[in-house]
Structure 1
Amino acid sequence: MQAFSIKPLLIAMTAAGTLGAATISQAEDPIRIGGIYILSGSAATYGEFAQRGIDLAVEEINADGGILGRDIEMLYEDSQGKASVAIQAARKLVFSEDAAALVGLDSSGVAQGMVPTMPSLQKPLIITHAATPDVTGELCNPFTYRISVNVAQNMKAAAMVAAETNATNWTTIGPDYAFGYQSWEFFGDYLKDINPDVNLMSETNFPRFGAEDFTPFIDRVMDSDAEGVLISVWGGDLVNFIRQANNRGFFDQGLELMFTVGAATEVLSALGDEMPEGVHLSTRYWYEGYDNDLNEHFVSAYMDAYDSPPSYNAQGAYSAIYAYKQAMEAAGTTDGSAVAEALSGMSMEAANGTVTFREGDNQAMVSPNWGVSGPMHSEHGIRTLTNLQIFEGESVARSIEETGCKL
Structure 2
Amino acid sequence: MKPLIQHLRTASLLALAASSAAFAQTPIKIGEINSYSAIPQFTQPYKQGWQLAVEEINAQGGLLGRKVEVIARDDAGKPEEALRHAIELSAKEKVDVLAGGFLSNIGLALADHAQKNKRLFVASEPLTDAIVWEKGNRYTFRLRPSTYMQSAMLVEEAAKLPAKRWATIAPNYEYGQSAVASFKELLKAKRPDVEFVSEQWPAQGKIDAGSTLTATMASKPDAIFNVTFGADLAKLVREGNQRNVFPKTPVVSLLSGEPEYLEVLKDETPKGWIVTGYPWDQLDNKEHASFAANYYKKFNENPKVGSVVGYATMQAIFAAIQKAKSTDNEKLVTAMRGLKFSTPFGPAEFRALDQQSTMGAYVGKLDQRGGKGTMVQWRYADGKAYQPTDAYVKARRPADAMK
TM-score by length of 2: 0.91
When structure 1 is superposed on structure 2, of 292-301 and 240-249 the one drifting more is 240-249
- Farther off after superposition, 125-134 or 366-375: 366-375
Describe how 1:24-173 pairs up with structure 2 within 5 A: 24-41=21-38, 43-173=39-169
Q: 8 Å contact 1:102–1:124 — kept in the other structure? A: yes
Equivalences for residues 316-327 of structure 1 within 5 A: 316-327=309-320
Taking the TM superposition and a 5 Å limit, the aligned residue runs for 1:280-295 are: 280-283=274-277, 285-288=278-281, 290-295=283-288
Report what 1:364 is aligned to. 357
Instruction: Read off the aligned partner of 1:260 and give its amino acid letter.
Output: L
Q: 1:250 to 1:304 in 2, by over 3 A?
A: farther
State whether structure 2 residue 240 is matched by structure 1 residue 245: yes
Provide the residue aligned with 1:354 in structure 2: 347
Specify the code of the residue in structure 2 equivalent to 1:261: L
Question: 1:398 corresponds to which residue?
Answer: 388
- Letter aligned with residue 348 of structure 1: F
Given the superposition, is the C-alpha separation of residues 341 and 382 from structure 1 closer, same or farther in structure 2, using an over 3 Å criterion?
farther
Deviation at 1:367, TM superposition (A): 2.0
Work out which of the residue numbers 276, 279, 282 in structure 1 matches 2:273.
279
Identify the range of structure 1 (133-142 vs 16-25) with the bigger mean alpha-carbon deviation: 16-25
Which residue number in structure 2 is paired with residue 265 of structure 1?
259
Query: Which of 178, 184, 187 is 1:188 aligned to?
Result: 184
Write out per-residue CA displacement over residues 346-404 of structure 1, whole angstroms, 9 at most, x where no aligned residue: 1123221220100111101122321111232x6xx842211113223232111233122
Contact 1:290–1:352, Cα closer than 8 Å, also in 2: no
Aligned-pair distance for 1:122?
Answer: 2.7
TM-score w.r.t. the length of structure 1 is 0.90
Q: d(CA) in 2 for partners of 1:164 and 1:303?
A: 38
The answer for the alignment partner of 1:313 in structure 2 is: 306
Q: Structure 1 243/76 Cα, relative in aligned 2: closer, same or farther at 3 Å?
A: farther
Contact persistence 1:53–1:315 (CA under 8 A): yes
Counterpart residue type for residue 300 of structure 1: A
Tell me if 1:385 matches 2:375: yes
Partners of 1:72 and 1:340 lie apart in 2 by 19
Preserved contact between residue 91 and residue 121 of structure 1 (Cα < 8 Å) = no
Instruction: Give SS of 2:31's match.
Output: strand
- Aligned partner of 2:174: which letter? A
Q: Separation in 2 of the partners of 1:401 and 1:290?
A: 35
Secondary structure of the residue aligned to 1:390 is strand
Q: Name the CA distance, whole Å, in 2 between partners of 1:12 and 1:389.
A: 65
What are the superposed Cα offsets for residues 147-169 of structure 1, whole Å, 9 maximum, x if unpaired?
A: 11001111111111111112211
Equivalence for 1:205: 200
Deviations 1:206-230 (A, max 9, x none): 1101205322102222333111111
Q: Which runs of 5+ in 1 are unaligned?
A: none
Q: Distance in 1 between matches of 2:57 and 2:273?
A: 39
